[in-house]
Amino acid sequence: MASRRDFFTSFRQPADLISGKVSGASNASGTSREDLVVRPPYGLKESLFQSECPSCESQVCVASCEQEIILIRSDKTPMLNFTKTGCTFCEACAIACPTSVLSLDYHHTAEVINADFRISLEGCVAHHGVICFSCKEPCIDDAILFNGMFNPVIDDRKCTGCGYCLARCPTQAISFLVSEIATIPNDNLKEK
């Protein structure tokens, strides 16, 4: 008989799905999905991350993150890593950012992260008749609904992309696709 560890391991997703990498897909602006990165909340647009962050030597966004999920990529821009925990939207990174790439003034991205989460039917133990609420319990937005005891789904209208569900899933059945940072017209922004 297989061990409990073997049972859960059999449901694991490929690492590329967990990290949000998707080959060949592109978005409306022509940017390849492979070029998109999950950014900290409070960002205005991707081009600011690319133009301002590489010259920031302090990298205070990393030090300010109590959850320790902000990492600096090889291109010297910040990204979120949900492997251990999720984002609390505590505002610390936006307050600390000296370049205003992250700012509390960007209300449209203050409560959502640019990632669309999904639950794999094949990988989710609940879909296979095992009682498991690991993804629902840490969800701070109550965005994971159970249609019956064994059918969890993510409500996209409530999901902020915080990442807590991904960190807690014992079989890595939750993955995400990275999307572009939502943009709004400049006249809707508060000027500093």
The last residue of one of the domains, among 64, 89, 113, is: 113
- 146 in helix, strand or coil? strand
Residues 129 and 95 grouped into a single domain: no
- 118 in helix, strand or coil? strand
CATH code, 83: 3.30.70
pLDDT in single tens digits along all 192 residues of the chain: 566 656 555 555 444 444 444 333 334 444 444 567 999 999 988 999 999 999 999 999 999 999 999 999 999 999 999 999 999 999 999 999 999 999 999 877 788 899 999 999 999 999 999 999 999 999 989 999 998 888 999 999 999 999 999 999 999 999 999 988 865 544 444 433
CA 103 to chain centre: 18
Residues 119 and 162 grouped into a single domain: yes
Measured CA to CA in angstroms, residue 136 lies from 24, 141, 146, 166 at distances of 31, 10, 9, 10
Residues 127 and 174 grouped into a single domain: yes
Residues 123 and 106 grouped into a single domain: no
56 and 96 Cβ atoms separated by less than 8 Å: no
In one-letter notation, the amino acid at residue 29 is S
Under DSSP, the state recorded for 71 is E
Residues 147 and 85 grouped into a single domain: no
Beta-carbon contacts of 182 under 8 Å, excluding residues fewer than 6 positions away, are 108, 109, 112, 114
In one-letter notation, the amino acid at residue 151 is N
Q: Which domain holds residue 67?
A: 37-113
Q: Is 31 contained in some domain?
A: no
From the list 13, 1, 35, the residue with the least C-alpha distance to 125 is 13
Q: Is 28 contained in some domain?
A: no
